[in-house]
Amino acid sequence: MALHRLTSITIAVPNVAETAAYYTDFGLEPAGDGWFASRDAGRQLRIVHAATRRLIEVRIGADTPDDLAAAAARLRRLGIPGHTDGSTLTAYDKATAVRAVVEVGPRLTQTPVPATVYNGPGRADRTGRRAPGILRTDRVRPRKLGHAVIGTTDFDATTAFFRDGLGFKASDYIADHGAFLRCSTDHHNILVLAAPVPFLHHSSWQVDDIDEVGRGASAMLEDHPERHIWGLGRHHAGSNFFWYLKDPAGNFSEYYSDMDCIVDDQLWTPEVLEGAKGLFNWGPPPPPSFLAPEDLAALMTGTHSEAR
């Protein structure tokens, strides 16, 4: 694949300082000028000010300038202008106003983390010691940005922008509602969702294993139970463990581990998922506020006011 990763996202919020404190608690490292860094991939989240919360920009890694030229040609066939300066291609999704910047850059190489040792029926791989997950005391720090989920008022157009224009691959679909798209070997890096207003549903951050999902969420909730949204559970699309929390601006953030990995496109067949499979495999049922965030009506009102 010419594209190789989701490099970073920029989000706008009305309460920058409060939101920045949340993502510091979440385990990202402040890196100056509104940027926050993950453990393995550097600066991956930027927070800027706006009257209402929204996703401003996604940046995507590509291998060569030829990959940018190919994406620009595909966008032109869709009637979408793109600006290329040699090392970057910039284009806007009309339905969401999200700016996509494809940039030539190195692929991310993560140092392998030793597999967590588990005991099972007839298999005692860990003896004479407690499980490592309960002995960890260091704070959870996300390894990398995994994906962002974008609500759009024109599902077909936004899906086409990322898939047919920029060159993302389709991994799975939620019938008439969602498209799981990848620009790396992860199952998805962008999920496009049909919605009554453009908005950022959530960003998702990789941690080592299910214990880190649980430890990270537990630490976030210790003094702030209002942050809880949904978890612990396991998704069907992507297969990953998850726990969702809410930042002070209303965006959700997810700790995840054990995401499906697609190395050979020919060996993966996208499915159209129906019902609960589009949301989860096991876990508590999602609350109504996960499916329709509580501030959507206000976002719609603000969008209509700006349009006038």
pLDDT tens digits along 220-230: 999 999 999 99
Query: Average pLDDT in the 110-129 region?
Result: 95
The two structure tokens encoding residue 162: 């990322």
DSSP notation for 165-211: II-PEEEEEETTTEEEEESSSBS-SEEEEE-SS-EEEEEEEE-SSHH
**What's the confidence (pLDDT) of residue 304?**
45
d(CA 80, CA 98) in angstroms, rounded, equals 13
**What's the confidence (pLDDT) of residue 303?**
59
Q: Using the predicted structure, report yes or no on whether residue 232 has a pLDDT greater than 90.
A: yes
86 versus 67: the higher-pLDDT residue is 67
Query: Average pLDDT in the 285-306 region?
Result: 83
Q: Summarize pLDDT for 144-191 with one digit per residue, the tens.
A: 999 999 999 999 999 999 999 999 999 999 998 999 999 999 999 999
C-alpha angle with apex 307: 153 to 98, nearest 5 degrees? 50
Say what the pTM is.
0.96
Query: Average pLDDT in the 6-29 region?
Result: 98
- Contact between residue 200 and residue 250 where contact means Cβ atoms under 8 Å apart: no
**What's the confidence (pLDDT) of residue 176?**
80
Mean of all residue pLDDT scores within the chain: 95
**What's the confidence (pLDDT) of residue 302?**
66
